[in-house]
Chains A and B, each alone.
Chain A
Amino acid sequence: MINERMNDVNLLRASGLVDRMYLAAAMGMDADAAGVPIELLYLENPSYWAAATSPLFDGRYYLGQVPEIRDAGINPLLHYVQKGFKDARSPSPLVDMMHVTNQLIGDVGRPITLADRRKSLERYPGLRQALLETGADPNIFFNNKVYRSQHHAIPIGAVDIPLEHYIARRGRNGGSYLECSSIASFKYYMANNRDLEQAGVVPLMHLLQFGLAEGRRFSPAKCVSESFLGNAASLFGDDSMKTLPGFIAANGATGQLAGPQWPTPFTKKRLPALSHEAVKGGRNCFVGIVLYNNSDQELRKLEASLKREAAEHKGYRIRWQYFSNDPANVERYERILDRRILVAEGGHNLGFGRAHNELMQRAFHEDSLYVGANPDGYFTPGSIKALIDMSDYFKGQALIEAVAAPVDHPKWHDPVTLDTNWVSGACFALPKALWAETRGFDPAIHMYSEDVDLSWRVRLLGGLLKVCPSARFVHDVTPRFSAVETQDVEIARAKAMLTGAYYLARKWGDAQQAAKVRNALSTYFTPAEIDGFAAPQGVISMDAARRITNFSHERFAPSRFWN
């Protein structure tokens, strides 16, 4: 009578994930010594289940990923063959299924879901077939093309899986080490870590299992930067990204950068979010500009750039309107711009946010996107179209910042996903759906920090905060940092910024930050004057605020080059 376990043995054999010699070595015996199939010995004795059965399956690793099967007494390889593969689970530190499925799926214009990953594997009976048929790289440090391009002592065939070929040779070719990565050099890795050479490790395996966590250098180039990792961890609210293994686990092969020379396909191809064109019904926007003490030249430049944008992009409708917060200048503005300028009833100065809110009200009667722009800047060609296109790419769920020219805003943004901690009010695009929920800027903030507050409320709603590098708005703030401005201008700005920051800290429930800003305000105002500042009408709950806000950075975001 056949042992029913033999059906399982046949299943494992069919998977191609049992290399008898490999498994025997892991079990510490000769493959044929017991006179019964070694696969049967392996299945019948749970003490062997942590063994690596082939270069593609590591029992210990898999049990760590799916701990519940240990308690349920289920063999890990059997579980992987029957269920884990279809669930896109990684069977070994050498086979990262996030990386593999990313290659199979490609760009879908949104974050890849587990359902996408499962679907991408449906047509393959198992891992080996998927790797063979697609040629997908098994992990971020193993590039099949790089590996195949070398001259091996034992040539690699078209039907070989390169990773298996590599492991079978323990990463060596005669007296030298095989290369398999465009990121790492294993000749460099072993030459610079003499202890590993003496220990006889397989370089790739060591790097993935230990070397990354130990911070060992794997390339002469500066691929990894602590500031890149730290800023990514801060931006995405995930401390695990501070280490390279955590960063890789979080991102897989999305092309995000762990450092200045970390390879990304986006040095040679366009970012999907920047190569999209809006659907025909969504090619419109309304540009709102709030004026206050602006020069003739500033207005002439901005108006000329708007006219150009409106004329240049056929099929895109771009309207714009000015709102003046200084009625004394309205006549001059109207003469220069040759158009009617909006003013508040009674000629009051509404402040930056409220004036934009007035313009937004008008915008969303007809348009699906509001672009707010500072009056002391202007659009470079194609910028407004780029904002419209990108807003459509994110399906109207992103508050978007046009980058500043001639030099960027100093806060960090992810160079590939284009996420940022908050969106600057100097030039931004707010889609109608987000406006409908937020109603624009908090009217209690006269000037400064209202953009941070709006950004955080967008995040609270589940919206996205993005930077659009192909929309460049010329807004040069460098004179501020070069002592070109007068002291009076600097003091006025400092007072306004601190007043906004004080409101923001109280609204978002950070008493410590509020006390700190109040202390700074006392340089300019008496305690009674500070007590008279507008108080937030609603305070965001501490729990919600902690998920959204970031007061640990002086300007609410990691810096690229502040100070």
Chain B
Amino acid sequence: MGRQWFFEWMPRPVVLNHADQSRRDIRSDLINLGIEEHKRRGNRYLAFLDYDDLLYTHAYKTLTAALSNTAAAVAFAGMEMAHAVGLQDYDFIYEMSKPFKGKNKLDLVHENFAPLHSYMVDCSKVSAHELQFRSELNRVEDYDFLLRVAGPNPCDFSQLKVCIGAYIQRSDDSNTTPKGVDTPEDKIKQEVWKANRDLLNSLRSTYEVKLFASDL
């Protein structure tokens, strides 16, 4: 968005500030701030993008097309992983892979295969109160959101064959996702993830999951 501000005919991005003196991870609070602004404006389509990931130019066209002509409340599209070396001047992408293997809602309920920017929500078809991230989670908070929003509603997985962006995995271990390797840094990440997974597992038993024709 920031790179397009010079196109005068396009809407200017809204930048919201969030003040927090604590040292806790406030990623859920930040994303909720955006969601509340989205609701306040009465917008229909909701999607997310981390500052360091990529979307291709046809991304939202692909996702909105999947939502506008169907009953689906959440549409998913394909995502690839860009493996990068983070240099001071730029991210050098040395390889692309496609590790996100899920195909439908059954796969999604089993394990999260949808990066944050790979899906879009049609807010006219979901309960407004579900549209928020849990503050008590600072990992897997996006999976928790998906289980609550996608679980009980019809979804569209027909666009998984179309790659709409890339999740950037840096070789300097700056991603918060653990690699499962035997290093002290990764072990800390694994512990944080496990604590969050345990909390999510206790919460999700109360979540409703419904299957529709478009989910499979």
Residues of A within 8 A of B (CB): 220-222, 225, 227-228, 257, 260-261, 264, 266-271, 274, 300-301, 304-305, 308, 380-381, 403, 406-408, 410, 415-416, 469-470, 474, 476, 478-479, 481-484, 560-561
Contact = CB atoms under 8 A, between A and B. Distances in A.
A477 to B, nearest CB: 9
A381 B95 contact: no
Nearest to A479: B58
B71 interface: no
Given A304-B7, A380-B3, A269 B88 contact: yes
A228 B94 contact: yes
Nearest to A413: B92
Interface in B144-177: 161-166, 171-172
A406 B89 contact: no
17 contacts: A220-B181, A222-B171, A225-B94, A264-B87, A267-B87, A270-B88, A271-B89, A301-B7, A406-B54, A469-B90, A469-B92, A476-B57, A479-B56, A479-B57, A482-B78, A561-B95, A561-B96
B11 to A, nearest CB: 15
Nearest to B53: A406
Nearest to B97: A561
A261 B83 CA distance: 12
B88 A266 contact: yes
Given A266-B89, A407-B54, A560 B8 contact: no
**A261, A416, A482, most chain B CB atoms within 10 A:** A482
Interface in B163-201: 163-166, 171-172, 181-183
Given A266-B87, A416-B87, A482-B163, 4 more contacts: A257-B85, A260-B85, A403-B90, A482-B164
A410 B96 CA distance: 9
B102 interface: no
Contacts of A476: 56-58
A260 B57 contact: no
B86 interface: yes
B58 A220 contact: no
A484 B58 contact: yes
**A227, A267, A483, most chain B CB atoms within 10 A:** A267
A303 to B, nearest CB: 10
B209 interface: no
Contacts of B78: 482
A381 B163 contact: no
Interface residues on B, range: 35 or more
B6 A305 contact: yes
A407 B56 contact: yes
Contacts of B7: 300-301, 304
Given A415-B87, A561-B95, A261 B172 contact: yes
A497 to B, nearest CB: 21
Contacts of A228: 94
Interface in B77-114: 78, 82-83, 85-90, 92-96
B51 interface: no
B138 interface: no
Main secondary structure of the interface of A (DSSP, over half): loop
A512 to B, nearest CB: 30
B55 A415 contact: no
A415 B85 contact: yes
A108 B21 CA distance: 46
A260 B171 CA distance: 6
A300 B180 CA distance: 48
**A220, A261, A408, most chain B CB atoms within 10 A:** A408
Nearest to B54: A406
A257 B9 CA distance: 43
B89 A274 contact: yes
Contacts of B166: 407
Given A268-B88, A476-B57, A304 B6 contact: yes
B41 to A, nearest CB: 24
The 3 closest A-B pairs by CB, nearest first: A561-B96, A260-B171, A469-B90
A479 B77 CA distance: 13
A558 to B, nearest CB: 11
Nearest to B7: A304
B62 interface: yes
A408 B88 contact: no
Contacts of A380: 3
A407 B181 CA distance: 28
Contacts of B3: 380-381, 474
A374 to B, nearest CB: 14
B9 A300 contact: yes
B138 to A, nearest CB: 26
Nearest to B8: A304
Contacts of B163: 478, 481-482
Contacts of B181: 220
A478 B95 contact: no
Nearest to B86: A267
